[in-house]
Amino acid sequence: MIVALAGGVGSARFLSGLLDVVRPADVVVVGNTGDDDWFHGLRVCPDLDSVTYTLAGANNPETGWGLAGETFTTLDALRRYGVPTWFNLGDRDLATHIFRTERLRAGVPLSTVTGEITAAWGLECALVPMSDDDVRTIVTASTPDGEVDFALEEWFVRERCEPPVVSVRYDGAAAARPAPGVLDAIARADAVVICPANPILSIAPILAVPGIRDAVAAHPRVVGVSNLIAGAAVKGPADRMLADLGIEASCVGVAAGYRDLCAAFVIDDEDASRAAEVEALGVRTVVTNTLMTDRSVAAALARETLAAVA
Amino acid sequence: MIVALAGGVGSARFLSGLLDVVRPADVVVVGNTGDDDWFHGLRVCPDLDSVTYTLAGANNPETGWGLAGETFTTLDALRRYGVPTWFNLGDRDLATHIFRTERLRAGVPLSTVTGEITAAWGLECALVPMSDDDVRTIVTASTPDGEVDFALEEWFVRERCEPPVVSVRYDGAAAARPAPGVLDAIARADAVVICPANPILSIAPILAVPGIRDAVAAHPRVVGVSNLIAGAAVKGPADRMLADLGIEASCVGVAAGYRDLCAAFVIDDEDASRAAEVEALGVRTVVTNTLMTDRSVAAALARETLAAVA
């Protein structure tokens, strides 16, 4: 059984490869919920939905978010009411948020609703939110008006990642409990994979839920995958924001953040020259192609990732 | 200043004519909310929205409900989650329900939200719900399983008005307060118009809110318009359900229900032979064309209706 800690789009792409090389029923994905937010009174879970839609083969590969062939009729109609519509919510995607919100308001935990959603999309692996409790990733960034706290999607989408990051915190994490089954799955897993994802925005919130970091640290076969290639993020602001936070924006910097968790770490061929530095952190290093241009590359990457801790 | 008590589609059509013959800013529409309901966690106000969309010229004249050119992408997508989707909610219509629900959950009264919605659609008249408190019109109907209580839209849409009606009640009405301004508007009105609408399902819930019936009864210039022509409803189940309830399904039966409120009552040319019976109820009777095939007919009908109590 494999546990995978996952963020959004990049993680989802990796997971689609993973499910090609291991039995889907043997995979438990623990998803980040730090950027979950309310839009128009609806609960939106961007990372959980990216994983669900991608694994269902329904994601939009061009935008990197949302569903393929999506329309935006309701969002356009909402503009009439003068509400902020900077967060793109497609008509079909809205059905997910409407369903989830109704269930949550009925008192059903997020982990249960997430299971209902993934079942409706035919997912064969388990997708579990890191916690049923609210955790909010807050990006404190420097603006012309001074330092401002942004919810993650505000900074990411509305502000287009432009305000330089001063610090990141995870509001609510200290009081959050891991979702049912998360700690047990980690303890029983044959391997724990940290998917390629922004370490500060996608993986750190998961690890900030009390109990999860300790469970991962206690596991002997944890393998991480770098989300950076030659110091640059394939998608998203990871490189610049890491630099803003004083972390080296490279596979070495990312590996350093995971050194007390990972037995092995996977870096890209383009970073082969940095392998010795990663090894020097005490982490077995695998060098391979991590640029998941298609599903067969993702599957090969997943195979090599698992082999590193076999 | 004119106050109009309104139900859904037929009332909305009449009101579009009314606004052609009086200054829109001088009209206060008091809307039925007895068939308001929750669908997918969203608050839907069918009659308020029918009035809003129709007066904005955005209604779908073919279906009689919803917006012209509407699509149903989100509703179709909701079917994946196995939730009941018998109530048709279009993509653009959903924006209204999403906006309203978010505002209501923020503690804003329905009357305030309704004002925001009508302003967004450019309405120049006032549209006020009968109450900010929940009132539920319950149709008790006879089914193969015995007598069953249906929320109005359940009986109307899901059950296609098929189960014979045993009784109708207005849950919550006794404890409801008229929305701010309703009683004052009635008291100050030059005339009160009871729009053509199902008397039991659309007008009675308004009158069931304590204070409203008394205010209307105390007004010297109240005029009603029959919703039945030659004993048949132009649209909807009014004729059969009146018969089920032991009320004569004719302009005379409707007028009898309003006799203690109305100084005058408008019936259709086809019912000219019944005029004497309506007069015998002590109600001045106007005979004219009430079949609002287009807006000019609606305007002529509105003009004659107001003239009856001028």
pLDDT digits (tens, 9 = 90+) for A153-189: 999 999 999 999 999 999 999 999 999 999 999 999 9
For B117, nearest residue in chain A (alpha carbons): A81
- At A62, the pLDDT band (50, 70, 90 cuts) reads confident
Residue A271: per-residue pLDDT: 97
Residue A240: per-residue pLDDT: 87
Nearest to A41 among B74, B105, B117 (CB): B105
Contacts of B42 in chain A (CB under 8 A): 98
Nearest to A92 among B74, B82, B102 (CB): B74
**Could you tell me which residues are beta bridge partners of residue A265?**
A224, A285
Looking at CATH, the fold of the domain delimited by A1-132+177-310 is given as Rossmann fold (3.40.50)
B157 DSSP 8-state letter: I
Residue B61: per-residue pLDDT: 85
- Contacts by B152-157, CB closer than 8 A, 24 or more apart: B152/B34, B152/B35, B152/B37, B152/B201, B153/B35, B153/B37, B153/B44, B153/B46, B153/B87, B156/B35, B156/B201, B156/B236, B156/B237, B157/B86, B157/B87, B157/B88
Contacts of A73 in chain B (CB under 8 A): 71, 73, 91-92
Tell me if A99 and B81 make a contact (CB, 8 A cut-off): yes
- At A294, the pLDDT band (50, 70, 90 cuts) reads very high
Instruction: With beta carbons less than 8 A apart as the criterion, state whether A271 and A196 touch.
Output: no
Per-residue pLDDT averaged across B72-100, rounded? 97
| B161 near A CB under 8 A | no
Instruction: With H, G, I as helix, E, B as strand and everything else as coil, classify residue A133.
Output: coil
Residue A86: per-residue pLDDT: 95
Residue B233: per-residue pLDDT: 87
Distance in angstroms (rounded) separating the CA atoms of residues B194 and B24: 17
Cα–Cα distance list, A100 to A107, B5, B87 (Å): 11, 37, 19
Contacts of A102 in chain B (CB under 8 A): 40-41, 83
pTM here is 0.95
Residues with Cβ < 8 Å from A75, sequence gap 6 or more?
A85, A88, A89, A90, A91, A94, B95
Per-residue pLDDT averaged across B170-197, rounded? 98
For B105, nearest residue in chain A (alpha carbons): A41
pLDDT digits (tens, 9 = 90+) for A72-128: 999 999 999 999 999 999 999 999 999 999 999 999 999 999 999 999 999 999 999
Per-residue pLDDT averaged across A225-244, rounded? 87
Tell me if A41 and B102 make a contact (CB, 8 A cut-off): yes
Residue A236: per-residue pLDDT: 72
Would you say residue A237 has pLDDT above 80?
A: no
| A91 near B CB under 8 A | yes
Least confident of B156-160, B177-181, B270-274: B156-160
Residue B98: per-residue pLDDT: 98
Tell me if A81 and B117 make a contact (CB, 8 A cut-off): yes
Domain boundaries, chain B: 1-132+177-310, 136-174
Distance in angstroms (rounded) separating the CA atoms of residues A69 and A58: 9
Distance in angstroms (rounded) separating the CA atoms of residues B198 and B225: 11
Instruction: With H, G, I as helix, E, B as strand and everything else as coil, classify residue B146.
Output: strand
Sort B180 into a burial class: Cβ within 10 Å, 0-12 / 13-18 / 19+: middle
Tell me if B74 and A98 make a contact (CB, 8 A cut-off): yes
Question: What would the two tokens of residue A102 be?
Answer: 């109704």
B269 DSSP 8-state letter: G
| A119 near B CB under 8 A | no
Instruction: With beta carbons less than 8 A apart as the criterion, state whether A290 and A266 touch.
Output: yes
| A74 near B CB under 8 A | yes
Ramachandran angles phi, psi of B98, nearest 5°: -65, -45
Would you say residue A234 has pLDDT above 90?
A: no
- At B214, the pLDDT band (50, 70, 90 cuts) reads very high
pLDDT digits (tens, 9 = 90+) for B108-145: 999 999 999 999 999 999 999 999 999 999 999 999 99
pLDDT digits (tens, 9 = 90+) for B242-297: 999 999 999 999 999 999 999 999 999 999 999 999 999 999 999 999 999 999 99
Residue B236: per-residue pLDDT: 72
A116 DSSP 8-state letter: H
**Residue (of B19, B215, B267) closest to B125 by Cα position:** B19
Contacts of A116 in chain B (CB under 8 A): 81
For B84, nearest residue in chain A (alpha carbons): A99
Least confident of B195-204, B212-221, B228-237: B228-237
Residue A63: per-residue pLDDT: 84
| B114 near A CB under 8 A | no
Question: What would the two tokens of residue B5 be?
Answer: 């008590």
Contacts of B99 in chain A (CB under 8 A): 40, 78, 81, 83
Question: What would the two tokens of residue B155 be?
Answer: 């009986």
B67 DSSP 8-state letter: B
Tell me if A40 and B71 make a contact (CB, 8 A cut-off): no
Would you say residue B237 has pLDDT above 80?
A: no
Q: What is the mean pLDDT of chain B?
A: 96
Which of A52, A72, A74, A121 has the most B C-beta neighbours within 10 Å, making it the best mutation to test the interface with B? A74
Which of B37, B75, B81 has the most A C-beta neighbours within 10 Å, making it the best mutation to test the interface with A? B81
CB atoms within 10 A of CB A224: 30
